[in-house]
């Protein structure tokens, strides 16, 4: 352990300890070895901006992953004029209807095109074991809705056709309880699956508040399932974590007769929507857009994957999922490669996925979408709302390129995209004006997402944590926003998740085969990244035998024929 040696290192070490939940950090500890990842790195960068009044890109932490190395970068940046052009976030008066953020406006438009759709429901479930005070839980959820304005917001159209959001002073919300104690075995499992799926697929009316609901399923006296559903226009994946964390804190307090332990919020989502529209325009917007124009110039408008059925003339969203799991061996090799090459797990997974898509499609120019939290200021970390943005990440593959070379290219692409993530995807589509095709989503048709949570650190002492959260409930989505979506989670052990696919295009067997090919390709790539992209293996021995032997067994018994018409006579 090496203690901080100057004030800059002391402040940085304190920031790392806060973000990584550690008691102390050595100035020689590697941020990513301590459990850091790109999402936590973004939080470090935002805190560094606030503490030192300097603008460091995410690249700085990836290239200087220790406190000592980052302190040198901070000191160098302090002598420069801050490059940050963002004005401070301020609270605005709630004197009337407020504008929508750019992301909200897109979802509002999609809802007008396809009303009563559940495609943009965000649903989650938790198993709750032990005694449960249902009234305290309902009170906790009601307090949650009162605490976050986004949850009691509705959306309307003014006389001039402008969409506005209206924040209601209160929103009444009850938590219905369904008693399943009379069921056991297969009957219980069937009813649970039916209720969970029905809750997830129930649509919202955006003109009615709240766009949030909760339901409780009582399985036994000591076992319950809590279901939470919220419309994407007022929430995102990060917000979902806030909701579950805060309802737990509120329930614990209310069940013990104590008041809410949560500090009042300084800002709300409507403040962000006005702030975004106030600064992201003119020169600030142009500076961001110019990078994207250059990055996506000439990109293909479509990824032509082979499908099991013809593509419908209008894009559909009927979908299914299947589990994806990377073995411990592959996950450990992936992490070792990240450390050697100075990249993140997401960059490796993106490279492997894009190689697979190139091999399937025969194209060498691949664009994949990826969500990003887009909370670059500490003030936004505790607010519920739709902050998440989508990045269009492009890979250009050449004939002799190795996996290592593609990884280096995607590192630059990803870091550049992170530095220009303020441009809303909606603005990007408007600016680039891609060829419109009702059968496909614009710019990309395939998505990759990696959900990060802090890993147990290898060094340093972690502060005592509360008891682990109850396990998640498996929810059948039944929809697919894109042709394919690879949705992975990195919890510090094996990387796993789901492959979501459009069932109007792909059969389950096709999706299952694609997932197995990705796992095999990734295993070979991380073990030897010097291999050619086009020689990374996809097939297992059974598939190789089927392709090369079984399907090539075309020999037939032949008979001696002396005339041209002899075979015709024999056939007759």
For every residue of 454-486, DSSP letters joined together read: PPPPSSS-BPPPPPPPPPBPP----B-SSSEEE
Q: Are residues 182 and 324 in the same domain?
A: no
Q: Domain for residue 85, yes or no?
A: no
Q: Identify the pLDDT of residue 172.
A: 86
Q: Are residues 265 and 330 in the same domain?
A: no
Q: Domain for residue 13, yes or no?
A: yes
For residue 212, the SS3 value is: strand
Q: Domain for residue 215, yes or no?
A: yes
Q: Domain for residue 88, yes or no?
A: no
Q: What is the pTM of this model?
A: 0.84
Strand partners, 342: none
Range(s) of the domain holding residue 42? 7-78
Q: Are residues 324 and 352 in the same domain?
A: yes
Rounded CA separation 216/172 (Å): 17
Q: Are residues 389 and 494 in the same domain?
A: yes
Q: Are residues 353 and 447 in the same domain?
A: yes
Last residue of a domain, one of 229, 251, 270: 270
Q: Are residues 69 and 113 in the same domain?
A: no
Rounded CA separation 415/158 (Å): 40
Residues comprising the chain, all counted: 572
With 0-12 / 13-18 / 19 or more C-beta atoms within 10 angstroms meaning exposed / middle / buried, residue 17 is middle
Q: Are residues 155 and 207 in the same domain?
A: yes
Cβ atoms of 408 and 295 within 8 Å: the answer is no
Last residue of a domain, one of 16, 44, 78: 78
Q: Are residues 45 and 168 in the same domain?
A: no
Last residue of a domain, one of 270, 285, 310: 270
Q: Domain for residue 434, yes or no?
A: yes
Rounded CA separation 166/502 (Å): 35
CATH number of the CATH domain containing 174: 3.30.559.10
Q: Are residues 446 and 514 in the same domain?
A: yes
Q: Identify the pLDDT of residue 479.
A: 80
Return the percent helix, strand and coil in the chain, to nearest 5. Answer: 40, 15, 40
Q: Are residues 220 and 353 in the same domain?
A: no
For residue 499, the SS3 value is: strand
Number of folded domains in the chain?
3
Q: Domain for residue 179, yes or no?
A: yes
Q: Are residues 158 and 225 in the same domain?
A: yes
Q: Domain for residue 279, yes or no?
A: no
Rounded CA separation 262/388 (Å): 24
Rounded CA separation 383/243 (Å): 10
Q: Identify the pLDDT of residue 272.
A: 95
Q: Are residues 124 and 171 in the same domain?
A: yes
Closest CA to 195 of 125, 115, 280: 125
Rounded CA separation 249/262 (Å): 8
Cβ atoms of 394 and 295 within 8 Å: the answer is yes
Is the peptide bond preceding residue 176 cis, with omega within 30 degrees of 0? no
Q: Domain for residue 525, yes or no?
A: yes
CATH number of the CATH domain containing 48: 1.10.1200.10
CATH number of the CATH domain containing 339: 3.30.559.30
pLDDT averages per 10-residue partition of the chain, 572 residues: 91 91 90 82 87 86 90 85 71 89 91 87 90 94 96 93 93 93 93 92 94 95 94 92 92 95 95 91 87 94 96 91 94 93 94 98 97 88 93 96 97 93 89 88 95 46 35 61 93 87 96 96 96 93 86 79 82 89
């Amino acid at each position: 352990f090496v203690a901080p040696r100057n004030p800059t290192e002391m402040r940085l070490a304190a920031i790392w300890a806060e973000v990584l939940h550690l008691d102390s950090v050595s100035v020689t500890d590697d941020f990513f070895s301590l459990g850091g990842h790109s999402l936590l790195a973004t939080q470090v960068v935002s805190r560094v901006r606030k503490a030192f009044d300097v603008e460091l890109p995410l690249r700085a932490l990836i290239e200087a992953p220790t406190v000592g190395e980052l302190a040198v970068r901070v000191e160098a940046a302090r002598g420069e004029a801050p490059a940050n052009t963002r004005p401070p976030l301020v609270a605005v008066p709630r004197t009337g209807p407020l504008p929508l953020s750019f992301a909200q406006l897109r979802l509002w438009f999609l809802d007008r095109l396809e009303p009563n759709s559940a495609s943009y429901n965000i649903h989650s479930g938790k198993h709750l074991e032990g005694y449960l005070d249902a009234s305290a839980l309902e009170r906790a959820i009601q307090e949650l809705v009162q605490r976050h304005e986004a949850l009691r917001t509705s959306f309307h159209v003014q006389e001039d056709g402008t969409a506005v959001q209206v924040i209601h002073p209160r929103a009444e919300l009850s938590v219905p309880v369904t008693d399943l104690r009379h069921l056991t075995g297969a009957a219980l499992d069937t009813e649970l699956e039916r209720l969970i799926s029905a809750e997830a697929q129930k649509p919202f009316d955006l003109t009615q508040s709240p766009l949030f609901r909760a339901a409780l399923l009582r399985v036994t006296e000591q076992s319950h399932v809590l279901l939470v559903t919220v419309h994407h226009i007022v929430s995102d994946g990060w917000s979902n974590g806030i909701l579950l964390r805060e309802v737990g804190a509120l329930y614990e307090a209310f069940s013990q007769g104590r008041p809410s332990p949560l500090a009042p919020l300084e800002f709300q989502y409507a403040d962000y929507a006005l702030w975004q529209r106030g600064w992201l325009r003119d020169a600030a917007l142009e500076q961001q857009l110019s990078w994207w124009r250059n990055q996506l110039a000439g990109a293909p408008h479509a990824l032509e994957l082979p499908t099991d059925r013809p593509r419908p003339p209008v894009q559909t969203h009927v979908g299914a999922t299947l589990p994806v799991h990377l073995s411990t061996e592959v996950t450990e090799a992936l992490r070792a490669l990240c450390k050697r090459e100075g990249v993140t797990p997401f960059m490796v997974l993106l490279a492997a996925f894009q190689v697979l898509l190139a091999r399937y499609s025969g194209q060498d120019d691949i664009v994949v979408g990826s969500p990003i939290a887009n909370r670059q200021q500490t003030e936004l970390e505790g607010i519920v709302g739709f902050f998440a943005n989508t990045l269009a990440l492009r890979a250009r593959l050449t004939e002799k390129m190795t996996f290592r070379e593609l990884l280096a290219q995607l590192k630059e692409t990803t870091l550049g995209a992170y530095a220009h993530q303020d441009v809303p995807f909606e603005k990007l589509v408007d600016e680039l004006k891609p060829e419109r095709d009702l059968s496909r989503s614009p710019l990309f048709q395939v998505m990759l997402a990696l959900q990060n949570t802090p890993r147990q650190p290898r060094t340093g002492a972690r502060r005592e944590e509360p008891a682990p959260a109850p396990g998640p409930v498996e929810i059948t989505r039944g929809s697919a926003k894109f042709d394919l979506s690879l949705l992975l989670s990195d919890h510090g052990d094996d990387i796993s998740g789901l492959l979501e696919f459009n069932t109007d295009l792909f059969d389950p067997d096709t999706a299952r085969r694609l997932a197995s090919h990705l796992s095999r390709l990734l295993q070979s790539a991380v073990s030897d990244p010097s291999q050619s992209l086009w020689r990374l293996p996809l097939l297992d021995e059974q598939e190789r035998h089927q392709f090369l032997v079984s399907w090539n067994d075309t020999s037939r018994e032949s008979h001696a024929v002396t005339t041209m018409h002899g075979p015709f006579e024999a056939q007759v």
